[in-house]
Amino acid sequence: MLERESATDQLVTQIISGIEEVKGQNIEILDLREIENTVCDYFIICDGTSNTQVNAIVNSIQKIVSKSIKEKPWHVEGSENAEWVLLDYVHVVVHVFQKHIREFYDIEGLWGDARSVKIETTY
């Protein structure tokens, strides 16, 4: 169990790096481990200003995670229109939104029981 947590923490760190690399905005981590019957341990949510930036964020995450810890997402959904792209790394699911789509679906509100950590960015 401890080994999985360490690998998951490393994955979370690399995903955040990938988002920050291309100036993804409003980064938030939802810790779902204390909630029963969840599909993963963490959601990482961020937004971009356009479909071009959303795709850049997704590509940056995949490149950095693949290069640093040799992980590839189990499934990627939404790349075609790049309004909401989901990257499923099994224990960590990344949601990359355009801002208006994020506000509409309000995942943070739906998972209000989850512990939330906002990542401060300096750009």
Note the pLDDT tens digit of each residue in 49-94.
Answer: 999 999 999 999 999 999 999 999 999 999 999 999 999 999 999 9
Note the pLDDT tens digit of each residue in 91-113.
Answer: 999 999 999 999 999 999 999 99
- CA distances, 21 to each of 74, 82, 105 (Å): 22, 18, 25
Report the candidate in 67, 93, 74 with the shortest Cα–Cα distance to residue 14.
67
Give the CATH number of domain 2-118: 3.30.460.10
Q: Which residue has the tokens 């990627």?
A: 76
Report the candidate in 94, 88, 87 with the shortest Cα–Cα distance to residue 119.
94
In what side-by-side order are the strands of the sheet with 115-118?
75-77, 84-88, 92-98, 42-48, 25-31, 115-118
**Bridge partners of residue 95, in order along the sequence:** 45, 86
Q: What is the pTM of this model?
A: 0.93
CB 44 within 8 A of CB 28: yes
